[in-house]
A = this chain, B = another copy of it.
């Protein structure tokens, strides 16, 4: 983990860009922490770190004010990272199916999501290794993420993650449903009820499949990107209950 920039945002928050091998990332830490702070990993949406920056920064500011460190890394094939021709093809197939009103086949979903999960999960684990090695960051660790299949796999394979806020806004391969049954950490799942590019029933079935004893579903109106502010605040309170 190599820091490539450092910037103070007011008195309260330190923003550092880093690279982890080839992967760009950002770490925000509270300006005035006297002991190691808990960590929230925030997975960006697939549109890339640069475009998602204002949204990520807003969340980081809020979390830092509450005493968390927040870290994010670029997803595979997003932002400035090398593209994947196979992923581009799968995304094109998905958009075509949605546009012409054809069913989104298991094949499309598998091609779109499974390689992304396989690639991203070890990267998040490597980021976690590097972040937890830093003296200013302790635990526990929460995960807050956009591609729900990545969060599901991480919750199964990564015991250092204690609680997760998951956004049910992407298609889910059947294989991930099996993994969902093995999840036991507390979950807070956000669903946009009228998300035009999402399968609501699939999201409800996935919520039902999670093995966690404590899991909460918050469904709100508005499209994919219309998560209301109060829903974000409820996610923060979920972390407060489980990480503090």
Q: Which residues in A have some Cβ–Cβ distance to B below 8 Å?
A: 193, 204, 207-208, 212-221, 228, 230-231, 234, 237, 241
Contacts and interface: CB of A to CB of B under 8 A. Distances in A.
Given A204-B204, A208-B193, A241-B230, A219 B216 contact: yes
Copies in the complex: 2
A193 to B, nearest CB: 7
17 contacts: A193-B207, A193-B215, A204-B204, A207-B219, A212-B221, A214-B221, A214-B228, A215-B220, A216-B220, A216-B231, A217-B217, A217-B218, A217-B220, A218-B218, A230-B237, A230-B241, A234-B234
A169 to B, nearest CB: 16
Contacts of A208: 193
- Chain A interface main SS type: mixed
A241 B220 CA distance: 15
Contacts of A216: 218-221, 231
Contacts of A193: 207-208, 215, 217
Contacts of A230: 237, 241
A87 to B, nearest CB: 32
Contacts of A218: 216-218
A221 B214 CA distance: 6
A116 to B, nearest CB: 27
A188 to B, nearest CB: 10
Nearest to A213: B221
Rank and list the top 8 A-B pairs by shortest CB-CB distance, nearest first: A217-B219, A216-B220, A218-B218, A215-B221, A234-B234, A214-B221, A213-B221, A230-B241
